[in-house]
Amino acid sequence: MPQNTVHVGARIPEDLYNTCSTKYKNMTTAIIAGLELLVEQDENNSSTEENNCSTEENNCGKLKAVIEEKNRMIQELRESLAKSPDPVELAEVRAHFEGLKLLLEERNKRIDEIKNEKDARIQELTREINRIDYHSMKNSETKQIEAHGIKKWWMFWK
């Protein structure tokens, strides 16, 4: 059964007309072939666009997953940064620590000096005591201390 047809009139360049006249037996066949080709290309483009859309949806899904991963990493880094000490405060603590370390070193040096002075003073006093004891022993006779109320050994009969 023949299809219903519609008359179409169009003006085309002469070169295109001559090319179509040599390839096709009449202009109606050439116009129908050209229009069918355009419709087919539109269908291919729409299916390609649908494929592009599905590909873009897949890409969007992948990009969303990447964005979520990046957001999770950013959150972890923020939490880590919140837990880490403040750099300014850390520098102040380090400076305070260095100051305390210097004070401790000075204190230890002073303690060593005092110990040396103490040892020297003890030696000096020991020599002085020995000198005094030597002179006192030399100048006086040795005396025994008698206890009250105790009898002499030769008086045991009394």
Q: Write phi, then psi, for 95 (nearest 5 degrees).
A: -65, -45
Give the pTM. 0.36
User: What does the pLDDT look like over 103-145, one tens digit per residue?
Assistant: 999 999 999 999 999 999 999 999 988 888 766 666 555 555 5
User: Which amino acid is located at 93 in the chain?
Assistant: V
**Does residue 9 belong to any structural domain of this protein?**
no
Name the packing angle between helices 14-23 and 27-83 (round to 10°): 110
Quick: pLDDT tens for 43-90.
Answer: 777 666 666 666 777 778 888 889 999 999 999 999 988 888 788 888
Q: If pLDDT is split at 50, 70 and 90, which confidence band does 1 have?
A: very low
- Given a cut of 90, is residue 96 above it in pLDDT? yes
The amino acid present at 75, given as its one-letter code, is: Q
144-148: long-range contacts at Cβ-Cβ below 8 A with a sequence spacing of 24 or more? none
For residue 50, being part of any structural domain is answered with no
Domain that holds residue 114: 85-138
Q: Is residue 158 part of a domain?
A: no
Cα separation, 110 vs 115, in Å, equals 9
Q: Where are the alpha helices (DSSP H) in the chain?
A: 14-23, 27-83, 87-139
Residue 90 lies in a domain: yes
Domain assignment of residue 49, yes or no:
no
